[in-house]
Structure 1
Amino acid sequence: MTAAFRPVDLVRPAQRRHITDDVLVGAPAAAVAAAIAWRAVGPLPAVAVAVVALAVVVAVAVQRAQRLDRGWLIGRLDAARPDLDDSADLLFADDGGLTPLARLQRSRIERRIAAAMPDLRPSWSARRIGLTWLLALVAIAAIILIPDRRSSTILAPSSEDVPAIPGVPRLVGQRLRIIPPAYTGLPPRDAAALDIAAPQGSRLDWTLTFAPEPPAADLVLADGSRTPLTRNGAVWTARRTLDRSLLYRVVPRAAGAAVPRLHRLDAVIDAPPQVKVVAPDRSLSLVTPGQHSWPLVFAATDDYGVAESAQLHLTIAEGDGENVKFREQVVTVHGTASASASSTGSATARRFAVAVDLAALKFVAGSDLVAQLVVTDNRTPGPQTARSSSLILRWPASEGEAMGMEGVVTRALPAYFRSERQIIIDAEALLAARPRPAPPRFLAKSDSIGADQRLLRLRYGQFLGEEQEGKTPPPPTADAAAPTADAPTTPPPPTAEGDGKVTPPRFGSEADTLADYGHVHDESEAATLLDPGTRKSLKGALDAMWQAELHLRQGDPAAALPFAHTALGLIKQVQQATRLFVAKVGPELPAIDETRRLTGKRDGLAHRDLPPVAATAADPAPAAIWRALAATGSVDPAQLAALEAWLRTDPAGVDDRLAFAAAIDAVRREPGCSDCREALRGLLWRAQVRPAAAVAPRAAATAEGRRYLDALRITP
């Protein structure tokens, strides 16, 4: 076969013509399917249906074009070109199997085809194309233009409660369709009322009817924005995504139409998942002899579904004191679904079980292993995450520590003084978190770090003789449980004196009495005094810790970090200090002047009246409107406007701003409605700012009290 002639040059144009013809015939069917989807569901599903239907038409056309193969080409060549002498099959024969005469005939056929290339493309199906497009246009026009009369028969009666005025449009039928987000797994539903609660992100479709028909109508939000209604025959429709809770009313554009009441749409926010630890049953576990793995079991729940996989964060702390090094590793854990699952198959509860390989983590003696599971839900977009409580695996204490060797080898500071660096790490991690947690969660995490800072400050304070907060001494009473019959009583062990002689305890001795009933402000470990320089450094560290705790409790970790770094530097100085074993002495208080007791002498004493403190003036609008609503007359519209302006300031005493706005609107629409007035008064009463507590004046002296004061020669 010569290079001037290739059979593919004849087949490809025919295949393209065949595919184009089939697509033109089948495209009207895809257009009709898209129109049906648009009328039934909406424009976005209609586009998806059109794309899928057109792809199916193209795939069928390509499959049909594959039938134009070599056999079809041989038949078309013999039928279209009589000068080929019915020998077109020689063009595809193998050279080795042809006789010299056959090769000569093929050369003649190739020259004839190269001289006049035949057009083997099939003719256009003009009649079929025109008929299908005509039928499709008629069907699309019928789908779009013919109103859906059935929808008016399934609408619920209106709940606007507006008077019927002849010739003035008013709402007579209503229906609200709720399509929740796909990740929730909830089915679409129809609500007869216009006040609904739906998951955040739901699509809302209103179907309304008016009598008589208005020229136009809108959904008017409480903030003044409008969503126009679209008329489709006798039905008016609108669509909106519920991204937040709001108030709205259905308003027909017509002169003389009454202002309808407000309706409420509550956006139910998807709660984050919840994680709890199933095993182990305690937060701190000790490594047992021969243990090679650490089994962990977690249970996670969510409103709409928990993701199939979770992240197990493992942190290994190695070292002692402030020189602690951390290694982190993240392991993906797959959970098993419980019996409860949504319609989409997403389980609302999952169980995550994993056995941590200690050898693979290089978990050696003296290290701590901290595990925390992070789970996500199925919210789209932006899945929410939740963390479990931390689980700690620790090696048990060594034999020397267990036998009380701490009393022989005393450290400058105990082992629990190694957490100031961790407080800094936690604060920096909270600031670097992206995305930033919600303000309530951010404040809670910062307050939790501040609580850890407080515990560390109290422990350091014991070395300065400070009293622990919240610690009360036991009462000096014999409240101990009486010995039972099974537990025989034994005398207390004798004590060893300094000379080596063993003497029994003596009742009433000063040392024993102080040991049993004394209220000490420190522990035995803190019963020493540091040298002045070390004490000053420790006092400075405590002051810095106090400032760091203050800012952390106020939700400002950035302001707390400089003080935490200062405290860490001072702690390192204290760790390098030596200890001085010096007896602690108590304060020397001035002696009490016994000669002035019960004499009535008030020399040098004077009245000290507290200066009045100016109270912060509250907004007078809520109190004024509350008093005005108590009367039976109408309320001044200016007062209602002032109350709305006060509500826009987001006062702290108002929990439900939408209910407040609806109550104000109800009073404005119907000033004579007693129930509306009482509802607004109730909301105002709960939102009132309580007056600050004041010092009560001293009561006047009674006759008996005056005689007593006269006897003491005291003038009141």
Structure 2
Amino acid sequence: MTAATILAGKLRSARTRRALDLALCLLPWALVAAAWAWRMQGLVIALAVAAAVGIAVIVVAWRSARRLDHAWLARRLNATRSDMDDSADLLFVSGESLNGLQRLQQARLRERIETTSGPELGPAWSARRLLLSALAALLALIAIGLWPRAQSGARDLEALSPAPQVAALPGQPRLIEQGLRIDPPAYTRLPPRSEPTLEGRVPENARLRWNLRFEPQPSAVELVFHDDQRLALARQSDGRWSAERVLTKPALYRIVASGAPEAQTRRLYRLDVSADRAPLLRVLEPDRGLSLMSAGQRSWPLEFEASDDYGLAANAQLRITLAQGSGENITFREQRLSLRGTGTTTQKRYAQRLDLASLGFASGDDLIVQLSVDDNRSPKLQTALSPSLILRWPADLGSEATGLDGMVKTTLPAYFRSQRQIIIDAEALIAQRRKLDEARFIERSDAIGVDQRLLRLRYGQFLGEESEGAPQLPTNDRDEPEPHDEPGQAHDQHAPAEKGQAANSAPEQHDEHAHTPKPAAPSFGEEGPVLEQFGHTHDHAEAATLLDPDTRKLLKAALDEMWQSELHLRQGHPQQALPYAYKALGFIKKVQQATRIYLARVGPELPPIDESRRLSGERAGLARRGERLAAANATDPLLESLWRDLEQSTRTTEPPPIDYTGLQRWLREHESRVPDPLAFAAAFDALRNEPECRRCRAELRRLLWPLLTRPPASVSRRGQGDAVDQRYFEALQQEARR
């Protein structure tokens, strides 16, 4: 034999040994998988699993054996035979690509291969690994054998269990076996199951199948539900009585067989329904409903989390609304995005990063988003909506504006922060002190101080204080010239300087309460002359007559504390401003609780008297004196009469009759008012079957009490008193007659 033939045979032998070794290690686990499938799902599934696992083992063993190639064989020859001179790789190289010395060495190696057999080159058998794998598989098979077998297949699910023994006379049909198969809706992915007791809790819209066996056989069998609905059972070829129904709400029922004993017919079975809950949706990012646009922000990250009891739809809808404009000129543009969640079927996360530039988001706009998620309920889906999230890009309030819109922007702030919000902002700023540099910290503290100032001015209006630092309305295009200036020079030469000086001195005048000694000439559109012409101004705190003196005192104290809080906030010391802010909040709360309000004294403005109707005798529109108040009717007279009958039955030996038909009709019409309709129906049915049962009456009264209408409050009549009180009252009456 040539060297090439010998080497090829050695390589095939090594591959065969490797494949057999790996297959022997994996085949016990294929047997374990088949045994588990047979235990859980039956023989057919077990055979399919065994075939699939066997094919997988063969593929894995073959791929592992193919890894043994010529390079591996050369390494094995160099490791096991010293006569290869570490040159075994020359055996698998063509002679044309070798030089003379290499061809000579190749010929020597081939001669040695042909003359000397050498040791076995295949991998050794892993006996230890085979033993451990076999032992582990054996333990798994024992565990599978001891595991309780799950019900599989329609035959196992419809297996009947023995029914409770009921005393019956000879010839009476007696229930001997029973079974209830429950097939949940397909979208719930719940497996079918069987209840041997004919009652339990089932999913909403589940299909129920009753299987009953009687001995001897009755002529007819039906199920009678608490709402008087009836379901007839059909007799099968094997002697069973079967019927199906889709259950949408809880129910009580009894089995009525012709000629059956009364104890068996009266027994009630209860079926509760587990409603399919709507999905739960939670916002993960952002952490607030209203977010303000930050400097340099180009995108808006959004993240939601949804969960459902049975499963969520594959996609969710993100509604994006862009509100642009101001005042009455506001336009809305809406679009929808489909988001695909990540996670399991019952819990998913939805993430989206909105590109603000592509949406056309600009200054003064609002971007509103809302996510809607559906579940997989059939036939009608349930939808959950997230809270609306708003991203606001505040408009530049300092920009130039004209007309009414400009007057509103320059004279009125957008909103006033409350004193509590100022405290919250100050505490949040103190908590972030280490993360902010000095300039940024002072800037944010100053911004909170500005909010404190606006709030102080707002409450100061109730004391008649002047508006400090109020900007002028930009309705006059040019200033009036001074008397000593020439027309046309005052505005051109002095207007810029005066405007800059006014802008720089406004805060100082506000802080020092300085007033200009000589007011400027009134111009068209300014609020001061308008108030002086059409209203009155509160120049002094004593002129305010809205609040009583005690309330004004509390409000003045609150303003003093706001002054101190504003002072420290504007200086960049929020920790020193907090005590004053808390005191101001306490005074404001006391002011809000004030009850006395003084209004200005004005004469009554009564409508004029119509003299034409006097002495005319017309009685149109006048109430009739003979009409009397009618007694109010009871909301539920049936319940009140039933309550009185049940109360009398506990005192007398002969209980009064009860309107069972009317009560059953009322229960069907007002089922939503009853916390547990099935318990009410069961107590009602027990009393109807045993009218003399006092325990049944007490139970029905207990369930009936929360349904009664609460009587209105009334003044109770005073008692007549004892004999001494009666003599005293009679003496008073005799004294009054004299």
TM-score bucket of the superposed structures, by smaller chain = 0.3 to 0.5
Normalising by structure 1, report the TM-score. 0.48
The structure that has the greater radius of gyration is: 2
Indicate the structure with greater helix content: 2
